[in-house]
Amino acid sequence: MNKPRFKLLWVKVALAIVALTAVRGEAQVLTLVPIRVESNEAMTISANADGKPQGLVALTFKSDAMPAEVAIAKVELMMNIRDEGTKVRQTINVYVRKTGTCNVEEIFQDLRKRAFPTADEVKGSDGQLCTYTLSRLLATPRIDDDAMRATWQAEPPNWKKLGVKLNDGFTLILGGQGGGPMGRKFYGGLDDAQTKLQPQRRPRLIVEYTSSDQPTVAQPASVQSGKGFLPSGEPGGAPGSYRTVALNPPQGQAWSYAPAFYNGFVYLMSDVGGKKYLSWRRPLGAIVGQIDISSPSPGQHLLVSRSGHLYIVGDGKIIPYRIGSDGRPERRTVSPEGAPTDVVPVTGLNAAQDAPTVGADGSMFYVTKSVEKGYTVVGRNPDMQELWSVSVEGPTSRAMLGPSGRYVYVTTKGEGLVTIDARTGKKFVNPLPNAQALKVAQSAYLQTPVAFKASDGTEKVYVAADLVDSGVLTLFNNNKTKNGANGNGTIEIGGEQTALMFGQPLVTTGSVYIVRVDSTNKNSAYVEQLDRWTGAETKAGPPLMIATDNPYLAKGGNLATDKDGNVFAWNGNSQLGDLTAFSPSLNPLFPPVNLSGQLEPNSNLFFGTDGTLYAGAQKSVLQAIVPYYSLVGVTSPVTITSPTHLWVAGVDESTPAILKGMGNALTAAESVMLGPNFGVEKNATLTVTISK
């Protein structure tokens, strides 16, 4: 193949010795907006000349989205200033309402009668008909009138001392002294016309937490398995191959664009004469259960988070579920605007390429399109509260949440890489090297950005953008995520290369891979291994045949990888259908397996949480790809082990597959299928083990 034109834009001596490590225990982010905002002075916090509070604000937060067994790393309350008044120095304290019978209005009335409280605990005045106790949050305040923002940051011991829990809910009361007669006015839940505020102006509570399973890679769901896939052992001289097993819906036809996987279950939606069903099953097993989801009319995007939040998205709505320990999804009530609901209205998400991205905690990020607003990137937390909406110059790729949970990445035709602060909605724009050509092009194919976290915390983002006759792969370094940067770094290009087109990038435990097509040979695609730190090609595998008029592997298809770093590709369209596997160094692991006729054209590869490899096209039957052995001409004992499933067949009814002898063993983690024409000769022994 032709070598790419590669331009290295920066080099560090340390690159040769730095290795990506699995970063554990670093902070993830959960951003909440209040379910209720109360104020006695139109969101103004102020005091009179005697130092008595006049304008007070109360913010109530509640959420069950915090993952279990996590440690709080930092809590920050953030409010946007609407009017800084006279900019006179002002002290604003934050209190948590702990106990008592007083409501917020009664607390406000009592606080206005006394001097501004500075004690760590405040109780109701003598003679009050109701009671209350407030505990002060020991936090570092910062009022920035230039940025029009105020923050109060609490460290873990001080937050823990309050003894509050998100799932129980709590109310923060803010009061101040100083600031002159005007004080400061903040944005709350509504504007002056009592209509909905722009989401990013709302108050928010940003909770950073650590857990033992922090992600270090961000890429499309289910392309990276946590288990191995390739079988091992001695098949007695019999050739090995792969075959497919269809996961047919119990009736009707497939409705979901893609499957979802969680805790060993496979989730699919089906359409039975207009009625819609959500089913769940074990891999290759019968349907465990299904529920009627016809009302309200569901969309076709099916998504699930690592925390067990399942969503059905499209047709103008998001329908949230929570998956139980038995795999059954139950409708989940959320409060995006304060009032509880189990259906969240949303528009512009019916096209398959606009599938949302779900964070580990159940947060959601997606792109919408409308005549009025154009292209908009939207961020929601696990409670489906809208955190922000940011206009971009589309068309766009899918959005991708980075592994730190702090930044969202989306590739746009008009602006290049758009990076959005997932906490605040602040937008950063970095043009692509082919920016001018991209803007004027009649069409473009924008792959979903992928990102991984380097050992110093930097998120490295790979972006592929293809035009009709040229493509550019660009590596960006988000230095805002670097350890100790506190969001103050830059986002800069680290490297780039060009070709006719690039496919969807794939990040594995040790490498980055991409499908590349050159202009000199449009019928061949190459899987490239890239230098993680620069984006330069280090090695390419042997060519894969693709169709010139429908190069699906590069435009719509994907690579997938197992725990061992092996890379799997399927070049299938109506003419071609080869499954190919490469070792991490891109050496072929077996001859290409022709699966045309078994898989639908334009299928994608997915790994289930149990390690099963699947292929499926949008709204088509999902197929499991299973290691297959036909025991023909076996001359020695058979011992085969598969990390997932195993299918073993015989020759014919009159010829046993397992001949005389001891030590024949078939082992698989999930299932062993025998047949057709499988038999064991008399006096021979065969041990079949399910090792799950």
Residue 632 has pLDDT above 90, yes or no: no
Task: Identify which has the larger pLDDT, 157 or 549.
Answer: 157
**Separation of alpha carbons 113 and 51, rounded Å:** 10
Residue 228 has pLDDT above 90, yes or no: yes
Q: Which residues contact 477 (CB under 8 A, 6 or more apart)?
A: 458, 459, 460, 461, 491, 492, 493, 494
| Span 439-475, pLDDT tens digits | 888 888 999 999 999 989 999 999 999 998 889 999 9
**Separation of alpha carbons 557 and 124, rounded Å:** 65
Residue 69 has pLDDT above 80, yes or no: no
| Span 70-94, pLDDT tens digits | 788 889 999 999 998 878 888 899 9
Residue 370: the pLDDT is: 81
Residue 11: the pLDDT is: 27
Residue 353 has pLDDT above 50, yes or no: yes
Instruction: Give the chain's end-to-end CA distance (angstroms, integer).
Output: 44
Residue 673 has pLDDT above 50, yes or no: yes
Q: Choose the weakest-confidence range: 237-246, 343-352, 493-502.
A: 343-352
Residue 177: the pLDDT is: 83
| Span 596-610, pLDDT tens digits | 888 888 899 999 999
Residue 27: the pLDDT is: 65
**Separation of alpha carbons 424 and 200, rounded Å:** 6
How many Cα neighbours within 13 Å face the side chain of 475? Answer: 27
Residue 230: the pLDDT is: 96
Please provide the average confidence, as pLDDT, over all residues in the chain. Answer: 88
| Span 108-138, pLDDT tens digits | 999 999 888 888 999 998 888 999 999 999 9
- Mean pLDDT across the stretch 657-675? 87
Task: Identify which has the larger pLDDT, 2 or 74.
Answer: 74
Residue 451: the pLDDT is: 96
Residue 634: the pLDDT is: 78
Residue 635 has pLDDT above 80, yes or no: no
- Mean pLDDT across the stretch 205-209? 92
Task: Identify which has the larger pLDDT, 251 or 223.
Answer: 223
E strands present in 467-620? 471-478, 491-499, 501-502, 506-507, 512-518, 521-530, 537-540, 544-545, 559-561, 567-570, 578-582, 593-594, 604-607, 613-616
Tally Cβ neighbours within 10 Å of residue 14. 9
| Span 287-344, pLDDT tens digits | 999 999 998 899 999 999 998 999 999 888 999 999 999 999 999 999 888 788 999 9
Task: Identify which has the larger pLDDT, 1 or 222.
Answer: 222
Residue 574: the pLDDT is: 59
Residue 389 has pLDDT above 70, yes or no: yes
Residue 24: the pLDDT is: 34
Residue 219: the pLDDT is: 93
| Span 291-305, pLDDT tens digits | 999 988 999 999 999
Residue 681 has pLDDT above 90, yes or no: no
Residue 546: the pLDDT is: 86
Q: Choose the weakest-confidence range: 14-18, 225-229, 426-430, 496-500.
A: 14-18
Q: Choose the weakest-confidence range: 263-277, 492-506, 534-548.
A: 534-548
The 3-state DSSP composition of the chain as helix, strand, coil percent (nearest 5) reads 5, 45, 50
What does pTM read for this prediction? 0.91
In the chain, % of residues over pLDDT 70 = 93
